[in-house]
Amino acid sequence: MTIGNAVSWMRSEMSQAETAKAEAAQEIDDAKSKEIFQAAQSSIDASMKEVSERLAEVAAKERTEANARKQAIFDTIYLIAAADGSITPIERAKLVLGIQGLLGDGADEATIDDGLSMARVLREEKGLAGAAAHVASVISEEFERYALLSIGSTVAWLGGGVGAKEGAALQAVSGAFGVPIKVLHQIMASAAAVAKR
């Protein structure tokens, strides 16, 4: 082997060694990049999962609040309508119209029957004052409170007028709502005209 060949061979070997070294460095860089990418992807996935879980919690809370509000509407009307011991077919028909006015399409017959059954259970468990206080803790908007007293008053006027038990129920609910008795009497007077139609 001549010196020229030896130098050429050495250069070739060194070049191959440099190439192998560069390829090894590239593989290390690729592995690090892949590791960094996987770590970033895992972090993004964890963040997305957390966001998704929080959105689900918010949606569930909103559904729970909406369902509690809807049930409180049934509870209020039941407390007044059933104060005398029963809900007559005429009372029920007016009651259904009032509930559908407040709830819209979400108040079909089955929903109303379920809501009134649950309201009966609340009344049995907490009594009139306790049930009225419970409803007031859920229904906070003044408009809804007045609307519920109006519907309840209309139903109470059916079948010969507001009896002592229905009057007591109206007073309990209006008291829990913070509606003065004078205002309740005005609502009841308007409801009397509606009930006579």
pLDDT tens, 107-166? 788 888 888 889 989 999 999 999 999 999 999 999 989 988 998 888 888 767 788 898
pLDDT score for 62: 46
pLDDT score for 58: 52
pLDDT score for 142: 92
Furthest CA-CA distance within the chain? 128
CA 60 to chain centre: 6
pLDDT tens, 56-89? 555 455 455 558 888 888 898 889 888 888 888 8
Q: Is the CA virtual torsion 101, 103, 109, 115 positive or negative?
A: negative
List the one residue out of 165, 177, 168, 179 whose CA is nearest residue 139: 177
pLDDT score for 40: 62
pLDDT score for 127: 92
**Mean pLDDT of the region 15-42:** 71
**Mean pLDDT of the region 3-27:** 69
- Can you give 68-95 as a three-state secondary structure string? HHHHHHHHHHHHHHCCCCCCCHHHHHHH
In the chain, the percentage of residues whose pLDDT exceeds 90 is 22
pLDDT score for 175: 94
pLDDT > 90? residue 180: yes
pLDDT score for 53: 64
pLDDT score for 125: 92
Is the pTM above the cut of 0.75?
Answer: no
Query: For 28-37, 43-52, 174-183, which range has the lowest pLDDT when averaged over its residues?
Result: 43-52
pLDDT score for 4: 62
DSSP state of 106: G
